[in-house]
C-alpha cells in the first residue's frame, strides 16, 4: 500500500510540475483540478477571461496523454451537438458520430448561454 501511495504521489507531482510550467502562479488551482481528476469527479473553474483556464486544462490533458475537447456553448446549440448524432455514411447507412462530450477531458465554456435542453444533455452525460 505504501508503494502505491508513493507511486501516486510521484506521478501527481510530475504532472503538477508539467502543468505549472505552462500555467504560472495557479498552484492551488492546478492541485485542485488534479485532485478532482484523481477522484474521478468533475471540476468547475470560474474566473475572468485570460486567467489561463483553457491553457491549464489543455496542458493537463497533454501531460496525461488524454483526449481533450472544448465545447463553446451558444444559444443555438442543440443537444446532439454535444452528445453526437446519426449521420448518413458513404455506404448509405447511418453511422453514429460521437460528440465532443466523449473526450477524456472536456472543457465546457459558457454553459450558461446554452438552452436548458442542451445543458440537460451535458449534465446527463456527466452522470
Give φ, ψ of 21 to 5 degrees.
-65, -35
Domain count across the chain: 2
Q: Is this prediction's pTM over 0.85?
A: no
What residues make up the domain containing 7?
1-66
Q: How many CA atoms lie within 13 A of 66 on its CB side?
A: 17
Whats the size of the chain, residue-wise?
Answer: 127
Of 42, 66, 90, the position where a domain reaches its end is 66
Mean of pLDDT over the chain: 91
Q: How many other C-beta atoms can be found within 10 angstroms of the C-beta atom of residue 121? A: 21
The pLDDT of residue 1 is above 80:
no
Average pLDDT over residues 48-61: 92
Q: Does 86 lie in the same domain as 36?
A: no
pLDDT of residue 67: 96
pLDDT by residue (tens digit) across 91-127?
888 999 999 999 999 999 999 999 999 999 999 988 8
Q: Does 51 lie in the same domain as 80?
A: no
Amino acid at each position: 500500500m505504501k508503494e502505491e501511495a508513493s507511486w501516486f504521489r510521484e506521478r501527481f507531482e510530475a504532472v503538477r510540475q508539467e502543468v505549472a510550467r505552462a500555467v504560472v502562479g495557479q498552484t492551488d488551482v492546478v492541485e485542485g483540478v488534479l485532485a478532482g481528476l484523481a477522484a474521478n469527479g468533475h471540476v468547475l473553474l470560474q474566473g475572468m477571461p485570460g486567467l489561463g483556464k483553457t491553457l491549464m486544462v489543455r496542458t493537463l490533458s497533454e501531460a496525461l496523454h488524454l483526449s481533450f475537447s472544448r465545447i463553446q456553448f451558444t444559444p443555438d446549440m442543440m443537444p446532439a451537438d454535444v452528445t453526437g448524432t446519426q449521420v448518413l455514411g458513404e455506404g448509405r447507412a447511418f453511422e453514429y458520430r460521437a460528440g465532443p462530450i466523449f473526450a477524456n477531458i472536456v472543457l465546457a465554456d459558457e454553459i450558461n448561454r446554452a438552452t436548458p435542453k442542451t445543458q440537460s444533455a451535458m449534465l446527463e452525460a456527466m452522470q
